[in-house]
Amino acid sequence: MILKIVQVGEAVLRERAAEVEPSRIKTPEFQRLIEMMRATMLDAPGVGLAAPQVGVGLSVAVIEDRAETINALAAQDALERDRKPVPFHVLVNPTIKVIDAAPQIFNEGCLSVAGFMAQVARARSVQVTALDHTGTLVTISATGWYARILQHEIDHLHGDLYIDKMNSRTFCGPTEPPARKP
């Protein structure tokens, strides 16, 4: 089942998502939410989706960056962005720590700000601690594009959108990419 992705202006995108009670993770109801979020992300298509984006104010996000998506990019773009495949996984109640703050500046979009993108500076490396889809505590170290996806999705769980952090002079529709130069 594909869920409706809510757009900027909806209050749920600006609220702090509630922590999930760990004992809920294995329930059929919660597993169904994960499956619906996965299907919705794939359909969009996107590389990450946070529960508030489907109108659910819970601290949950799903991420997957497929090899075929990356292979469809110009090789130089994938290289510059340090973009490598990330298998599907679930983050519940994640916390994030910056490991390398060196700003990486690239265009970023969001399924809840459909049709636009802008340059956003993100930390190069982060470490995330979360529960996975089974409720097991996991620690993830990520660099490059994966680190960007994690920062973007965890921002959603705090009620933040990339438009709060973008260089607003580069904000544009996808058919008019901004000049790469400052």
Query: Which residues are the active-site residues?
Result: 153
Which two structure tokens, joined as six digits, stand for 138? 């996991």
In the bound state with Zn ion, the residue whose beta carbon lies nearer, of 110 and 142, is 110
Residue closer to Zn ion, measured from CB, 63 or 110? 110
- Are 2 and 43 in contact, with CB atoms under 8 Å apart? yes
Residue 173: Cβ-neighbour burial (10 angstroms; 0-12, 13-18, 19+): exposed
Binding pattern for the stretch 68-107 against Zn ion, x by CB under 5 A and - elsewhere: ----------------------------------------
**Shortest Å, Cβ 26 to Zn ion:** 27
Name which of residues 101 to 130 contact Zn ion (CB under 5 A).
110
Min dist CB 111 to Zn ion, Å, is 6
Burial of residue 139 (CB within 10 Å: 0-12, 13-18, 19+) is: exposed
Count of residues of this chain found to bind Zn ion when the rule CB under 5 A is applied: 1
Q: Rounded to an integer, what distance in angstroms lies between the CA atom of residue 85 and that of residue 143?
A: 12
Residue (92 or 110) nearer to Zn ion, CB: 110
Cβ neighbours, 10 Å, residue 110: 25
Site residues for Zn ion per CB under 5 A:
110
